Amino acid sequence: MKITDVRSVVVGNPWKNWIFVVVETDEGITGLGEATGGLSTQPTVAAIEEVKHLVIGKDPRRIHTIWNDLYLAGFLRVSKEMAGIEMACWDITGKALGVPVHALLGGKMRDSVRVYANGWYSGDRTPEGFADRAKVVTGKGYTALKFDPFGTAYLTMSKRESREAEALVAAVRESVGPDVDILIEAHDRFSVGQAIEIGNWLAKYEVTWFETPVYSTDIDALVEVARRVPVRVIAGERMHDLHEFAQFLATNVTDVINPEPLGVGGVFRSVQIAGLARAHHAQIALHNAESPLKTAIALQIDAVTPNVFIQECFDDFLEPWVTDVLQGFPRVRDGEVEIPDAPGYGVTLNEAEAKKHPYGKSNFLRMFKPGWERRDVAKTE
């Protein structure tokens, strides 16, 4: 079997253009991967086009060889285009053998994974608005939810802004009760001092974690915050190389990390990072803020990973047309999602439907624009 073409399909999801990587073979088997970037679409599409000649003609089942060749060709750089191609090759190999990707990785250890809801907070940025939306989430059966209550704050917050943020957290806690996990996202935005101040008042609301309170590739800053607050601090989304995770884990300041499979180079590197975490008695909670295909891919990793804490999922809070574009992705039931057993990832891209939702230059979350958390592009541009 040989790769005959690699191409990208962009789908204009309103708050993040999704980039799907399609790898075609001479045996008619097509693999599907993802290379979505938070604030970058066209550069990644161009990068896929630029590197595809490096893999055309190669056997897609030699996944590690293809990944390493791309890594060396990029001068020891991990990239989303690498991850998308690698993911698609796993899909091809699973389809060729008639097995799910998790079977290629050693077989699943669990039948389902608990998930936390993200992308649900699209209402008014008021305590009442957040509380009402949180009640809807738990009404769907979710036992965990994540949100960023900090508005447009950067580095520091005024006393008024701090009160507003705390009021949102308090309202959500009161709304969902004491048994639901509340995960607080800070999007790398604060100084060390401000993060410490916030982390101390978050303890009152028994939050499960405080995510990326400072710029999260600054390991020293992360460690400083983690050691001085009474809540769990997690990070990993911005880290790309194995040594970054090893450095953070070696400090023993956290027992959960959240690597992004697209950021670390795909499926197998994610499995390796889970191994690093286990060596430090830590768990993983894979970052997953892309399409439902990406959820299906993350579940294959979760399936074979003994130290999974929880899985991020946006899928219940997407546009209604998503099920026309992507078929076969697993759905959340009572706060969990079953591990798919279909060959490959079990997800099909309907390219005719995808064309109805083209790339949009405004399809981005501008994190420091008022109203970004509503995921309403018209109000943030």
Count how many residues are written for the chain.
381
Q: How sure is the predictor about 381, in pLDDT bands with cuts at 50, 70 and 90?
A: very low
Sign of CA dihedral 119, 353, 8, 292: positive
For residues 180 and 38, the model is more confident at: 180
Weakest-pLDDT range from 88-92, 215-219, 368-372: 368-372
Stretch 128-142: mean pLDDT: 97
Q: What is the mean pLDDT of residues 149-177?
A: 97
Q: Is 357 labeled as catalytic in the residue annotation?
A: no
| Longest distance between any two alpha carbons in the chain, whole Å | 63
Higher per-residue confidence, 365 vs 155: 155
CATH 3.20.20.120 fits 104-341, yes or no: yes
Q: Residue 113 above 50 pLDDT?
A: yes
- Is residue 286 scored above 60 in pLDDT? yes
Range 290-302 burial, b when 16+ CB lie within 10 A, else e:
bbbbbbbbbbbbb
Mean pLDDT of 60-81: 96
- Of the candidates 155, 208, 218, 162, which has an alpha carbon nearest to the alpha carbon of residue 185? 208
Q: Does pLDDT of 291 surpass 70?
A: yes
pLDDT band at 376 (very low <50, low <70, confident <90, very high): low
Q: Clarify whether 53 is annotated catalytic.
A: no
Is residue 85 within 8 A of residue 68, CB to CB? The reply is no
Distance CA(70)–CA(53), nearest Å, equals 11
Q: Residue 170 gets which letter from DSSP?
A: H
- CB 60, CB 5: distance < 8 Å: no
Who has greater pLDDT, 109 or 378?
109
The percent of residues in the chain predicted with pLDDT above 70, rounded, is 98
CB 35 within 8 A of CB 82: no
Q: Of 242, 342, 263, 256, whose CA–CA distance to 299 is shortest?
A: 342
- Backbone phi, then psi, for 208, in 5-degree steps? -80, -35
Residue 371 has pLDDT above 80, yes or no: no
**What's at 216, amino acid-wise?**
S
On the 0-12 / 13-18 / 19+ scale of CB atoms within 10 A, 209 is: buried
Q: Which of 102, 187, 240, 357 is catalytic?
A: 187
- Kind plus residue range of the DSSP H or E element containing 327: strand 326-327
Domain positions in the chain: 104-341
- Burial code of 87-114, b = ≥16 C-beta within 10 A, e = fewer? bbbbbbbbbbeebbbbbbbeebebebbb
Q: How confident is the model at residue 176 (pLDDT cuts 50, 70, 90)?
A: very high
For residue 323, give every residue at least 6 positions away whose Cβ sits within 8 Å of its Cβ, in sequence order, or none: none
Give the per-residue pLDDT at 375: 64
Of 102, 240, 287, 357, the catalytic one is 287
- Asked if residue 99 has pLDDT above 60, the reply is yes
Tell me the mean pLDDT in the region 178-198. Answer: 98
User: Residue 141 corresponds to which tokens in the numbers above?
Assistant: 């059966």
Rounded average pLDDT over 172-191 = 98
- CA gap 88, 336 in Å, rounded: 25
Q: How far apart are CA 192 and CA 254, in angstroms?
A: 17
* Residue 333 exposure: Cα atoms within 13 Å on the Cβ side: 8
**Whether 29 contacts 292, CB under 8 Å:** no
Q: Using 50, 70 and 90 to split pLDDT, how confident is the model at 367?
A: confident
* pLDDT of the residue at 122: 82
**Percent helix, percent strand, percent coil in the chain, to nearest 5:** 40, 20, 40
Write the single-letter amino acid at 114: R
- Work out the average pLDDT over 128-156: 97
Q: What is the pTM of this model?
A: 0.96
For residue 374, is pLDDT > 80?
A: no
Q: Which tokens is 17 given?
A: 């253009």
Q: What are the tokens at 380? A: 């943030």
Classified as helix, coil or strand, 282 is: coil
**Does residue 378 carry a pLDDT above 50?**
no
Is residue 245 a contact partner of residue 284, using CB atoms and an 8 Å limit? Answer: no
Residue 380 clears pLDDT 80, i.e. is over it: no
- Mean model confidence pLDDT for the chain: 96
Q: In DSSP terms, which residues pair with 146 in a beta bridge? A: 183
Sheet containing strand 3-11, edge to edge, reads: 3-11, 18-25, 30-34
CB of 23 closer than 8 Å to CB of 29: no
Residue 267 reports pLDDT greater than 90: yes
Q: Give percent above pLDDT 90 in the chain.
A: 92
